[in-house]
Amino acid sequence: MPDASGPVAAHTQLASVPLFASLNESQLRTLAFRAEERSYRDGDTIIAQGDDGNALFLILSGKAQVTRSKRPVAVLGPGQYFGEMALLDSQPRTADVTAEGPVRCLVLTAWEFWSAVETKPEVLRAMFKEVSRRLRASPAAFSE
Ligand code: CMP
């Protein structure tokens, strides 16, 4: 019986993340092997608005609250991800992301993310789709 934690479990969980739907099993294994799993407790700040950072966080379990300038904008759950904005444009983090209860994430460095994109450009297409969706859901993004 394999251990319930670590790269084996992470690889299985990655398979259900829509962002990586285009990756085959061996590509998912590579990604899971390189990524780091991190656990957070209720109330922990995972990302702080204004910080530098270029890692991408995939939620394996639990919920994360996204707060922009003290205003709650989204709650993200398993299979969803955050941290893509600073990863894409190397600018400061646009929001706080806080653990709502215990949260487990798989953290990918920018280098790991771009390696996955090189093998499968569809990953980038999936990410742009989600970025557009988040933009549409943020009316403030379109105000003068
Ligand atoms: P980043 O700016 O790198 O760090 C904070 C993250 O919060 C950001 O990337 C997004 O992943 C996430 N985020 C910011 N605004 C929203 C939003 N309106 N809806 C969902 N997630 C968001």
Q: What number does the ligand 1 atom closest to the CA of 86 have?
A: 3
Between residues 106 and 143, the one the model is more confident about: 106
Burial classification of residue 26, based on how many CB atoms lie within 10 Å of its CB (0-12 exposed, 13-18 middle, 19 or more buried): exposed
Structural domain spans, the chain? 6-143
pLDDT at 9: 64
For residues 114-128, average pLDDT: 92
| Pocket lining: 94 vs ligand 1, CB cutoff 6 Å | yes
* Residue from 76, 91, 94, 98 whose mutation best tests the ligand 1 pocket (most atoms within 8 A of CB): 94
| Pocket lining: 73 vs ligand 1, CB cutoff 6 Å | yes
Homologous superfamily of domain range 6-143: Jelly Rolls (2.60.120.10)
Per-residue model confidence as pLDDT tens digits over 1-24: 444 455 556 778 888 888 998 999
For residues 113-121, average pLDDT: 92
The Å distance, Cα 118 to ligand 1 centre, comes to 24
CA distance 22 to 14: 11
pLDDT at 1: 41
List the one residue out of 97, 100, 101, 108 whose CA is nearest residue 17.
108
CA distance 118 to 47: 26
